[in-house]
Amino acid sequence: MDSIDIIKKMPSIHCARGPKRCKKCKIMAEEEEKFCLIRVHLKSGKIARPMTEIFVGCRRIYGEYDVVKIFKNDRDAKEYAINNKKDITFS
């Protein structure tokens, strides 16, 4: 398994530099966090992607991720998780 799909509340980030170093990211990160379907890569790739921490079972994984889908609201995210058997994390 090279990647894990998980639904998580994420700040909107526009590039890998993140809100600490990028003005545009900072502005976007101040907006409300939205549930996103993210794909966390277990091996680091060639492209610099933003990083996130997830828990799978009792394993803590820190890896690069891509945003696959952004949900309009919490209900959308929960329905998608059930219908597509995706993990959803509320932490």
- Distances in whole angstroms, Cα of residue 32 to Cα of each of 12, 16, 56: 8, 19, 25
The position carrying tokens 């799909």 is: 5
Binding of Zn ion by 25 (CB under 5 A): yes
* Under 8 Å between Cβ of 32 and 70: no
Segment contacting Zn ion by CB under 5 A, of 1-9, 23-31, 50-58, 78-86: 23-31
Binding of Zn ion by 27 (CB under 5 A): no
CA dihedral 69, 72, 75, 76 (to 10 degrees): -40
Binding of Zn ion by 26 (CB under 5 A): no
Q: Which is nearer to Zn ion, 33 or 79 (CB)?
A: 33
Binding of Zn ion by 24 (CB under 5 A): yes
The site for Zn ion (CB under 5 A) is made up of 14-15, 22, 24-25
